[in-house]
Structure 1
Amino acid sequence: MDDTLASLSAVDARRLIATREISPVELLDASIARIEALNPSVNAMAATCFERARIEARHAEHALMRGETPGLLHGLPIGVKDLEETAGVLTTYGSAMYRDHVPEADNAMVARIRAAGAIVTAKTNTPEMGAGANTRNVVWGATGNPFAPLLNAGGSSGGSAVALATGMLPLCTGSDTGGSLRIPAAYCGVVGFRPSPGLVPGDRKNLGWAPITVSGPMARTVADTRLLLAAQAGFDARDPLSYEVDADTFTKHRPIDAATLRIGFTEDFGTCALDDATRATFRKKMAAVARHVAVCEPVDIDMRDSDRCFDVIRAQNFVAQFREAYERDRSLLGPNTRANYEMGVKMTLADVVGAHVTQTRLYRRFQEHVQRYDVIVSPTTSITPFPWSQWHLEAINGRPLDTYYRWLGLTYVISMMTNPALSLPCGMDHAGMPFGLQLVGALRGDARVLDIAEALETAFAGDESLERPTPDLSALRAPVPQLKSIVTHPPVIV
C-alpha cells in the first residue's frame, strides 16, 4: 500500500496528475489498497466498482498523454454516498427493497463530477434512506468510527466521512437534511459543507421546490472541499432551485486574516438539547478560538419552536417519497423511515401551514444575527459519539428525547434557515473523540463561508487543542466482525 499517494490531499493529487508527476492509475491503486486494508475495520464502503474505475483511470491517463485539458477532478478517485444514483453501480439506499438496484443513469450531481474527471470508485454507506445519524442498515451493516470502531461515525453520510478520515479516498459526496453532511464530519474529524439550496442540483427530489435537502462535498481539508463543490455546483433544468455559478467562485483562493474575523457563538440556539460535557468542551474551544480572531462573543439567539417546525417540514419529504412503499408492505421499511412516514400522514394542512409560518419567523430573526458577524458558530453535535449498536440517542443529561432525531437540533435548526453551514474539525473533545465547530454564514454566502473556514483552519494548525485530529491507522488493521452482524442477506455487487 502506497501510504504517500493515499494520503495526498485532493488539491495536491490533482496538481500532480496534471503535471504528470503521478498517474491516475497509481493514485487509484493506492486508494484501493487502503480500502482493502482498512475497510474491514470500519465498514465505510457499500458497493465497489474497482475494475470499472481502473478502466476509467487508464482513460484519464491517456487523455493527459494526448494533451487534453484536464477537468477539475481529473483522475481523482471518489466515493459517492449510497443515496446517490450511479449508472451501472449498485445503489441500495441502505434499504432491503433496493438490495439489487442498479440504476441506468447517474443523477445530476454524479454526472457533473464524472464530467469533471472524477472516477467513481465506491459507494459509501448510509442508514436506510438516510434516516438518522447512525450509519447502519440491513444491507451493508454498520459503519464504525475510525477513532473507535465500536462507536457511531455519525450519519447519514457516515461512510463518506470515515473513508476520508482514513485516507481511503481523497473526496466523497454527501447529502444533508438535518445535519447529514455536518454530523459525520464532526464525529470523524473531516470537513462537511451544507451548501445553499439549489447550488448543487438535485434532479430526483419528489418535492423539487423544497429547500430542506441538499447534496454537497466532504473532504479532509477546506481546500479539497471547495474543489469538489466547484465541480458539483451548477444549473440543471430538472431542479427548479438550481442556478448558474462560476466554478472560479469556489476554486479561487481569497485569503482572509483570521485575526480580522468577527465571530458570534451560541451553545444551543436557545433551545437545542446539549450534553453538559459537550457544552463545557465547546466553551473551552471558544476560549481558545478567541486568541486567533478579532471578536469572539456569545450571542443570544432564540430559536424556540424549531423542533415542531422541523418535524413537519421533514415529514413532508417522507410522505412524498414512501407512500407507495408503505402501503404496499410497510415491513420492508426500517424503523426510522417508517416512523417518519407515520408521523407525516397524521399531520394536517394546518400543521404544514403553521410550520412554514414558524420557519419564516425564525428565518427573519436569525438573519438579523448573522448580519452582525462574519459567521455564527455553534457545536456541530450535541454529544460525543455513542455506540453504533444503539440505534439512536434516547436521552441527554438524563432527560428523554421525544424522537430518534431530536439530538440533531444543532444542525437541523440551521437547515431550516437555508444558510450555508460547514463543520470544521476542532481538535478532540472531553472523551478523546473528534470535535467539530459548525460555522454558519450569511444567506447565499457559500464562497465566503469557505474562505472563513480556510482562514480558521490555517489559524488552528499547530494548535493542539484546535487542529484537525487524525485516527491511528495502525490500529485499524484487524477486522471488526460486529460491523457486519446486522446484515441479513449479502447484496449483489455489480
Structure 2
Amino acid sequence: MSEPTDLSATEARRLIGTKRLSPVELLDSAVRRIEAVDHAINAIPARDFDRARDTAREAEAAVMRGDALGPLHGLTLGVKDMVGVRGLKTTFGSPAYRDNVATHDEGVVKALKGAGAIVVGKTNVPEWSAGANSRNPVYGTTGNPFDPTKSAAGSSGGSAAALATGMVALATGSDTGGSLRNPASFCGVVGFRPTPGLVASETRGMAWLQLSTLGPMGRTVADTALMFSAMTGRDNRDPLALVERVDPAALRSLPPIDLASLKVALTPDFGFAPVERMIAATLREKVARFGSVFRRLDEATPNCDGADESFETLRAIAFLGPHKRLVEASPHLVGENVTANVEEGLGYGAADIARGFELQTNLYRRWQSFFAEHDFLLTPSVAITPRDWHELYPKAIEGKPTRTYFHWLALAYAPTLAGHPAVSLPVGLDAAGMPFGLQIVGRRGADLETLAMAAALEALLAGDPVTARPSPDLSALAKAPNIADMDGFYP
C-alpha cells in the first residue's frame, strides 16, 4: 500500500521543492489513505478535503512559478481538535461544543499554514483532553493502528494514529501529563514536548501555569524537528513565550551529536511511578542492544519526591479555572474526568496550592543538580502496554491501585513538573507485540540538543529490526470492521 503519503515529511518536502512531487499528488494520496483505513481507527473525524485541494492547487502553482517556498510547503497536516482552524468544527470532544465552528485560525495553526502546511482535518481527542484515552461523546473512540481494539492513548491520540497510518505527514499535539508522548509511544511515532514557552499559545486558560504546552508530532525525529521549526516564536498574548527561540535553520538540519561523548542516565520509574514489569524489562532489553555506545550509562534518577502530590494539585487547578463554569452550568454535558478534576480543585485551599508550587520548585532544583552530572535521561514513555479502549483508565498496575485516573502517566508528568524537553522515540515492539516508546529527557532549554540526540539514536536503531520504528499493517486495517460499529464506541 505504498503511496506518496508514506514518505517522510522531510523527503516529501524535498521532492516538492525539486518539482518531483506535486502538493496535489501528496494530498490526493493522503485522502486515499484516510478513506481506505480511517474507518478502522477513527483518527480524523472532521475533514476538510475540498478546501485542502484548493490550497494544494495554489501550492502547486507556487512551485511552478518558482516562488519562495516555506519549510512545510505542500505538506499535509492534522490539527488536534483542541485548536481552532477557521471554518472547521472545534469541539474539544465536548457535547457542549458539538456544533462549534472556529471563526479564525489560532496562532499555531496560522504559523503552520504560513510555513506552507495544508490542513486535512481535525484529529480526535478525549473530552477536553482529560485523560489519555482518546474517546469522547462527539466523535467516539480512536483505536490503535496496531490493534483497533486497543487504546491509541491521548490526548493527542488521533494525531498519533493518523501519523502512524500515513494519513498526514505532520500533526499537532499538546502535552500536560504526556499528551504528546503517550500516544506517540502507543502508536509508534515521535512526539516532542518542548520546553514550555518555546511554542506560544494565546488560548491556554491558565497562561501563567507552566504545565501545558503545544508541540509537534511526526513519523521521524527530523520530521518532528522540521515542524517544530515553524511553531517556535513569540506571541505577546502568551506571558510565558520566551524572548529567545531555537534557531529554525538548525532544527531543519539537526546538528550531528556524538553519542559516545554522552553521559546518560537510565530509570524504569523515576523511583516513584507505577510501571508494568514487562515495560521495565522491555526498557532494559532494548537499551542492552545500544547502551554501550554512550560514554557512560548509569541507572540513576533525579529525586522526584512530592511529584504525585504536586501534579495532582496543579493539574486540578489548571482544570478548575477554564471548566468550573461549564460544570456548574451544564453538568450533563461534562464527562467524569473533567468533573473529577473540577471537584478536586474546589477541595484545595490556598495552603494546598502553595504547597503544590513549593513541591514543584523543589523538584525542579533537584533536577538541575542531577542534570549537571548527566546529559540525558532515558525512561519508558508510558508505564503500560496499550490496553482495551473500553477501559477509561488503568485502575491498577501490577495489582496495585492507581492514585488517580492519570497516575499511570507519572513517567510523563515528572518531566512536565521540571519543565524539561522530552521526546518519545519509537523503539520496536514490546513483548505484547505493541509499539514501545523510549522517553529521552534533556536539559531545560536544550531542545535542539534533545532532538539531535533523538535523531542520532533513531539512526543507530533503524538498522536493527528489534529497535527500528514499527509500522502497522495497513492492508489489515483496510479490511478491518468499522470501529464505530463496536459496542461502547461512544462513551
Cα distance change on mapping 1:203 and 1:184 into 2, 3 Å: same
The answer to whether the 8 Å contact 2:196/2:210 transfers is: yes
Equivalence for 2:92: 93
Task: In structure 2, list runs of 5 or more residues that go unmatched.
Answer: none
| One-letter code aligned to 1:18 | G
Output the TM-score relative to the length of structure 2: 0.97
Q: Which residue of 2 aligns with 1:420?
A: 421
Question: Residue in 1 aligned with 2:249?
Answer: 248
Between 418-427 and 461-470, the greater mean CA deviation after superposition: 461-470
Please name the residue that 1:492 is paired with: none
Give the drift of 1:98.
0.8
Equivalent pair of 1:79/1:120 in contact (CA under 8 Å): yes
1:67-117 alpha-carbon deviations (Å, 9 max, x no partner): 210011111110000011111111111111111110111111111001111
1:363 corresponds in structure 2 to: 364
Aligned to 1:80: 79
Kindly indicate whether the alpha-carbon contact (under 8 Å) linking 1:73 and 1:228 is maintained by their aligned counterparts in 2. Answer: yes
Equivalent in the alignment of 1:229: 228
Residues 483, 489 of structure 2: 8 Å contact kept: no
Partner of 2:279: 278
Where in structure 2 are the equivalents of 1:75-224 lying within 5 Å?
75-224=74-223
Residue 66 of structure 1 corresponds to: 65
Amino acid of the structure 1 residue aligned with 2:254: H
More deviation, 354-363/254-263: 254-263
Q: Cα 1:484–1:327, aligned 2, differ >3 Å: closer, same or farther?
A: farther
Moved more, 59-68 or 136-145: 59-68
CA RMSD of aligned residues (A): 1.4
String of CA shifts for 1:455-492, please: whole Å, max 9, x gaps: 00011111122111111111101343344655669xxx
Contact 1:139–1:487 (8 Å) recurs in 2: no
Measured in 2, the distance between the counterparts of 1:223 and 1:483 equals 34
Whether contact under 8 Å (2:302, 2:370) holds in the other structure is yes
Contact 1:376 1:439 in 2 (8 A): yes
Name the SS of the counterpart of 1:477 in structure 2: helix
Structure 2 vs 1, CA of residues 300 and 231 (structure 1 numbering), >3 Å: closer, same or farther? closer
In structure 1, C-alpha distance between the alignment counterparts of 2:377 and 2:226, rounded to whole Å: 24
Counterpart secondary structure, 1:384:
coil
**2:343 counterpart of 1:342:** yes
TM-score of the two chains, using structure 1 as the length reference: 0.96
SS at match of 1:187: helix
Counterpart contact for 1:144–1:483, Cα < 8 Å = no
Task: Tell me whether 1:437 sits opposite 2:420 in the alignment.
Answer: no
Contact 1:267 1:279 in 2 (8 A): yes
Alpha-carbon distance in structure 1 between the residues aligned to 2:283 and 2:465: 15
* Shift of residue 261, structure 1, vs aligned partner: 2.5
Report the counterpart of residue 40 of structure 2 in structure 1.
41
- Paired amino acid for 1:102: V
1:37 is matched by which residue type in structure 2?
A
Structure 1 residues 467-482: aligned runs within 5 Å: 467-482=468-483
Matched to 1:135, the amino acid is S
Task: Say how many residue pairs are matched.
Answer: 488
CA distance in 2, matches of 1:406, 1:271: 11
- 1:283-362 counterparts in 2 under 5 A? 283-362=284-363
Partner Cα distance (2:283, 2:489) in 1: 37
The aligned residue for residue 399 of structure 2 is 398
Change (3 A) 1:333 1:113: same
What is residue 50 of structure 2 aligned with on the other side?
51
Note the residue ranges of structure 1 that are not aligned, 5 or more in a row. Answer: 490-494
How far the C-alpha of 1:46 sits from its partner, in A, is 2.2
Q: Does 1:13 align with 2:12?
A: yes
In the TM superposition, what is the alpha-carbon distance from 1:35 to its structure 2 partner? 0.4
Give the AA of the match of 2:257: I
